[in-house]
Structure 1
Amino acid sequence: MSLLNYLQRIGRALMVPVATLPAAAILMGVGYWIEQSSSNSHNALAALLTTSGLAILDNMPALFAIGIAYGMSKDKDGAAALTGFIGFLVVTNLCAPSAVSLIQHIPIDQVPLAFQKIKNPFIGILVGVCSAEVYNRYSHVELPKALSFFSGRRLVPILVSFLMIAVAFILMYIWPLVFNALVDFGIHIQKMGAVGAGIYAFFNRILIAVGLHHALNAVFWFDVAGINDIPNFLGGAKSIADGTGIVGVTGRYQAGFFPVMMFGLPGAALAIWQCARPENRAKVGSIMLAAAFASFFTGITEPLEFSFMFVAPVLFVIHAVLTGLSVFIAASMHWISGFGFSAGLVDMILSSRNPLATHWYMLIPQGLAFFVIYYVVFRFTILKFDLKTPGREPEGDIIEMEGVEENVSASQAGESSNESLARRYIAAVGGTANLTHIDACITRLRLSVADADKVNDALAKKLGASGVLHLNKQSIQIVIGTQAEAIAEAMKSVSKKGPISAVLPALSSPISIKNNETVAPQLTAIHKTPALATLVAPVSGEIVPLEQVPDAAFSSKAVGDGIAINPTGDTVVAPLSGTIVKIFATNHAFCLESTQGAEIIVHMGIDTVALEGRGFERLVEEGADVEQGQPILKMDLDYLSRHAPSMISPIVISNSDDYTSIVLQAEKNVVAGQSEILAIIK
């Protein structure tokens, strides 16, 4: 994985703890409204709400450790989040001033100040990343039988605990240096005052293109470098009392975004609409209106920004410069407001009663001025340089593409609109054969693909995407708005039902856009991606989705992707030809490495290990080479059905991450050694 991709993963994971801020903003915003509207200066309800909000803000470093460990874990399991919290507790307690004094044999009053600030978001991020890496590598490890209770995800907190002891030991010597460097950086930026705020805002917008603005925001918005702008602002009266909040200063890294997001970008949307060709204005107008409203009301700007970011990069640079200018002006004039989510109308209203909000209402006339500036500058630039913003494509412009043939075995009946749209997005990015990983971050799909050249950008935009960003040959982002996470989940769901073929750019079947009419293409089938290998049912019975297996290790897919069978037959056969690399001593499960390299686990029943081999008979020995369909185990199904908690039997590919997709081939009853159940797509 490239450094850019890894940094993007961290940036994406940062949004998990940051997503808790709206809760704090609402609690404290309503609390301040009640407090200032009440004749009683010590209103109990106001105190209850503001104290509840502060509980979130005061524990942001721990939330960073938990959220990043969860967000970077490959299966998004709660055990990863717990691991992050355990790691944070170990490090922060070992590096607390009292512990450092004891371990380093120095008086406590000589312990460096850095250790009083060990509960720092930087430490939270470090612990979260380390915890996620350990979880991803060792959550599937199986220990010997005597230690089997500590296998898998139970092993990870133990490993992280020992790892964090080593990390804490290292931090005892380097944390003062790192902390002082971060603080010096923060002090340098703060000394730049309004100019520093403007520079930050400029780079905040520029980095949106590659999704790294979250990492930059962490430095200015939280206590990574001692600035901590958002929590200090939301802290209000408490921040003023403890000296971390300064009236007219705290909030300057936020305030200037309100005029841009609430007014400037809607002005740009108006210019883009008016510059569209007459026959396209109705369509462009509806898109721009929705994007402008989202920007004004909630502060979500990416759908609007991505509409011109790539087709007219000069406009995006102008937008970044104007954003920096707006933040500089607001900071210079001490017009301060803040937010817990983004700089939209909702956050402006919630923060208006905050004691640190000074002359916040002046951001509205500033915003009106920026509406005019954005409109004039964008309109002039678009017309002067004939920029191809939405609706200005050449008349009769042709978008060419080929059709798609989806696997007829994939069940589409009763699918939701999100699932239907998800299928089309999968086809647009090259089909399941090209799609290797699916994720999302608020407004954009973050996808890993085998070959980014196979992505049909034109089709993605026709499906409603504001833009498609090619980061490298294996990483793309599709901006589709606030439904991105729902679409990502739907893509994961439908991709399990069967292979979805690609819609690729071609020289035939054009879609012609002319006179506001669309001519539909002829859909032609393209060949299905051949499977690397196809598993047959290891036992006769009824197919059960893996998610319904009554064992969290299997249902969460922590062990691997696959399917389960509720057996009706008593003979267990090899699902593929290969080598039996392990048969458990209790004969309830075996591991097979196929000739193609697939690592398959067949586990008969749930908690059948407790039967100590009763009800199972081994027919081959460990290390044997077997053919597909060859008997491996014999079961006493009557005995097992009476004594096992469940006989639902998972069949999983433990190295499923090595393949493009695992496709279900059967949905009901199967016959051992005959019915195909899973196809492995390379």
Structure 2
Amino acid sequence: MMKYLQKIGKSLMLPVAVLPAAGILYGIGYWIDPTGWGANNILAAFLIKAASAIIDQIPILFAIGVAVGMAKDHDGTSALSGLVSFLMITTLLSTNAVAMYKGIDPSEVNAAFGKISNAFIGILSGVIGSSCYNRFRDTKLPDWLAFFSGKRCVAIVTACASVVASVILYFVWPIIYGALVLFGKTIMGLGPVGAGIYVMLNRALIPLGLHHALNAVFWFDTAGINDLGLFWSGAEGAVKGVTGQYMTGFFPVMMFGLPAGALAMYHTAKDSKKKTAASLLMAGALASFFTGITEPLEFAFMFIAPGLYLVHAILAGISAIVCAVLPLRLGFNFSAGLVDWVLSFKAPMAVNPLLLIPIGLVFSGIYYVVFRFVILKFDLKTPGRFEDEDEGENDIQLANDDFTAIAKLVFEGLGGKENIKELDYCATRIRTEIIDYTKVDEKTIKKAGIAGVVRPSKTTVQVIVGPKVQFVYDELKKML
């Protein structure tokens, strides 16, 4: 079950990768017309509307992205199936449709059905579409139905499955929606403390890959909060000085805190291993600062020093509380890095974006001092502090972009073609299913200059590569 949920989280990286395009369009549009939000300038209006076309259709993007990501061979047929499922569920369970079933006025229909087109349903539709594709893509039908054999029957099966799912959701969705709304309102009712709890849980769930489910409640319109959408659109429901509180607290952590923590890990590394540690930590720190991608850095110490990672999650929660209390509101379309910070300056709900600099500097000092103290006090084996690490330098650095050579070492370390059962990748990790865990040589893999190796189970190995993971993955696929 956990593995399946992690795979869904990985699949969400595809549609999430589209959001920066919206961020750029929004950012430029608001810079051109910061007061009228497009009303005073045709070009600004054009760009803002173009961005809205992406943000307003996040549920559909999730349905298609998850369907493709969960499909065994990532075939486009699964994308069509995911879309079919989403359209059927949202149409069958729309407010007007439910009113017709019950013979009542639409105003009397449970509010849950007015929110049926949301990120959660998008993900569910993607799961239904991909499941039908994986199960029926090779179906052989009698000659008189041969035209619908194989992949052509997938969308038909998906439609039938979606009808069944709609019947179930007719009874279940109001309960799920009510629980999500209750959870969201409880957190919102706690004000800044609630924002801190959310951000802390967000970081804590990253090792399990389940943070996306939590994000859907607060960032999107799953439970009526829609912090991300309202921040950029300024639509009805947005409140200046409030909207954005579930995103702002990430900026001091990703742009300042984690890079400072990386510096602390570098300074506490053994002198003979500082150069090796620096290559890993610097790459992770730069990714965190510029793009808000924190996995390369977090996975560098998440499993080897879980106590330090817990400290990080708590500090992130504190950052969210502080930012929610202060007159500061920032937002992002991808993550809380430098690029999104600059683009959000003129967003409708932005408040004092330059205030991030002093706050960030304070948190960089806190992160450095706390990380350094905890590492030394408890002798944590962060990068560069292992006794059994190779004394020599890594043979290859990802910065050299020699992906073929990197892949060869990873391939060898995983035990070769005979030992690799399944291969996939997400935002920063190559995920593999292996046959014999004793044939995996972590030292060989680490010689490739990658961030680390994680073994969630005896048959699963995750190689933490970083943002360039796709290129290493492509070379591995060739070798297989």
Tell me which interval the TM-score lies in, with the shorter structure as reference length.
Answer: over 0.9
Quote the residue 2:44 is aligned against: 46
Quote the residue 1:668 is aligned against: none
Q: Distance in 2 between matches of 1:262 and 1:309?
A: 18
Decide whether aligned partners of structure 1 residues 219 and 436 sit closer, same or farther in structure 2, where only a CA change above 3 A counts.
farther
Name which of 467, 472, 475 aligns with 1:482. 467
Q: Distance in 1 between matches of 2:333 and 2:66?
A: 19
Q: What displacement does 1:486 show?
A: 1.8
Q: What displacement does 1:361 show?
A: 1.6
Q: Distance in 2 between matches of 1:185 and 1:332?
A: 21
Q: Distance in 2 between matches of 1:39 and 1:246?
A: 16
Structure 2 portions without partners, runs of 5+: 393-400
Quote the residue 2:139 is aligned against: 141
The question of 1:305 aligning with 2:317 is answered no
- The answer on whether the counterparts of 2:412 and 2:444 sit within 8 Å (CA) in structure 1 is no
The question of 1:287 aligning with 2:272 is answered no
The question of 1:390 aligning with 2:392 is answered no
Name which of 358, 374, 382 aligns with 2:367. 374
Q: What displacement does 1:40 show?
A: 9.0
Higher helix share: 2
Name which of 354, 362, 380 aligns with 2:347. 354
The question of 1:317 aligning with 2:310 is answered yes
The question of 1:125 aligning with 2:136 is answered no
SS in structure 2 at match of 1:388: coil
Name which of 205, 218, 221 aligns with 1:220. 218
Q: Distance in 1 between matches of 2:37 and 2:106?
A: 46
The question of 1:427 aligning with 2:427 is answered no
Q: Distance in 2 between matches of 1:206 and 1:452?
A: 27
Alignment of 1:46-65 (within 5 A): 46-65=44-63
Quote the residue 1:650 is aligned against: none
Alignment of 1:218-257 (within 5 A): 218-235=216-233, 237=234, 239=235, 242-243=236-237, 245-257=238-250
- The answer on whether the counterparts of 1:419 and 1:494 sit within 8 Å (CA) in structure 2 is no
The question of 1:451 aligning with 2:436 is answered yes
Q: Distance in 2 between matches of 1:303 and 1:274?
A: 19
Q: What displacement does 1:50 show?
A: 0.4
Quote the residue 2:321 is aligned against: 328
Decide whether aligned partners of structure 1 residues 360 and 442 sit closer, same or farther in structure 2, where only a CA change above 3 A counts.
same
Q: Distance in 1 between matches of 2:56 and 2:299?
A: 35
Alignment of 1:234-633 (within 5 A): 234-235=232-233, 237=234, 239=235, 242-243=236-237, 245-394=238-387, 417-495=402-480
SS in structure 1 at match of 2:422: strand
Quote the residue 2:164 is aligned against: 166
Structure 2 length normalisation: TM-score?
0.93
SS in structure 2 at match of 1:352: coil
Decide whether aligned partners of structure 1 residues 486 and 176 sit closer, same or farther in structure 2, where only a CA change above 3 A counts.
same
- The answer on whether the counterparts of 1:430 and 1:454 sit within 8 Å (CA) in structure 2 is yes
- Coordinate RMSD, CA, aligned: 2.1
Decide whether aligned partners of structure 1 residues 468 and 210 sit closer, same or farther in structure 2, where only a CA change above 3 A counts.
farther
The question of 1:79 aligning with 2:77 is answered yes
Quote the residue 1:105 is aligned against: 103
Name which of 6, 11, 14 aligns with 1:13. 11
Matched positions, count: 472
Residue identity opposite 2:112 in structure 1: A
Q: Distance in 2 between matches of 1:358 and 1:55?
A: 25
- The answer on whether the counterparts of 1:298 and 1:342 sit within 8 Å (CA) in structure 2 is yes
Q: Distance in 2 between matches of 1:302 and 1:453?
A: 27
Q: Distance in 2 between matches of 1:40 and 1:89?
A: 31
Decide whether aligned partners of structure 1 residues 420 and 381 sit closer, same or farther in structure 2, where only a CA change above 3 A counts.
same
Q: What displacement does 1:134 show?
A: 0.8
Q: What displacement does 1:423 show?
A: 2.3
Decide whether aligned partners of structure 1 residues 39 and 181 sit closer, same or farther in structure 2, where only a CA change above 3 A counts.
closer
Residues 627-656 of structure 1 deviation map (CA, whole Å, 9 limit, x = unaligned):
xxxxxxxxxxxxxxxxxxxxxxxxxxxxxx
Q: Distance in 1 between matches of 2:19 and 2:37?
A: 29
Decide whether aligned partners of structure 1 residues 216 and 432 sit closer, same or farther in structure 2, where only a CA change above 3 A counts.
farther
Residues 520-553 of structure 1 deviation map (CA, whole Å, 9 limit, x = unaligned):
xxxxxxxxxxxxxxxxxxxxxxxxxxxxxxxxxx
- The answer on whether the counterparts of 1:452 and 1:472 sit within 8 Å (CA) in structure 2 is no
Residue identity opposite 1:309 in structure 2: M
Structure 1 length normalisation: TM-score?
0.66
Residues 533-581 of structure 1 deviation map (CA, whole Å, 9 limit, x = unaligned):
xxxxxxxxxxxxxxxxxxxxxxxxxxxxxxxxxxxxxxxxxxxxxxxxx
- The answer on whether the counterparts of 1:210 and 1:471 sit within 8 Å (CA) in structure 2 is no
Q: What displacement does 1:171 show?
A: 2.3
Q: What displacement does 1:214 show?
A: 2.3
- The answer on whether the counterparts of 1:65 and 1:84 sit within 8 Å (CA) in structure 2 is yes
- The answer on whether the counterparts of 1:307 and 1:467 sit within 8 Å (CA) in structure 2 is yes
Q: What displacement does 1:442 show?
A: 1.2
Residues 619-678 of structure 1 deviation map (CA, whole Å, 9 limit, x = unaligned):
xxxxxxxxxxxxxxxxxxxxxxxxxxxxxxxxxxxxxxxxxxxxxxxxxxxxxxxxxxxx
Name which of 152, 176, 179 aligns with 2:177. 179
Higher strand share: 1
Quote the residue 2:26 is aligned against: 28
SS in structure 1 at match of 2:90: helix
SS in structure 2 at match of 1:287: helix
Q: What displacement does 1:39 show?
A: 12
Residue identity opposite 1:185 in structure 2: F
Q: Higher relative contact order at CA 8 Å, sep ≥6: structure 1 or structure 2? A: 2
Q: Distance in 2 between matches of 1:300 and 1:168?
A: 36
Q: Distance in 2 between matches of 1:35 and 1:186?
A: 33
Residue identity opposite 1:484 in structure 2: V
Residues 435-484 of structure 1 deviation map (CA, whole Å, 9 limit, x = unaligned):
11111111111212223343222222221221211111222222111111
SS in structure 1 at match of 2:25: helix
Q: Distance in 2 between matches of 1:114 and 1:128?
A: 20
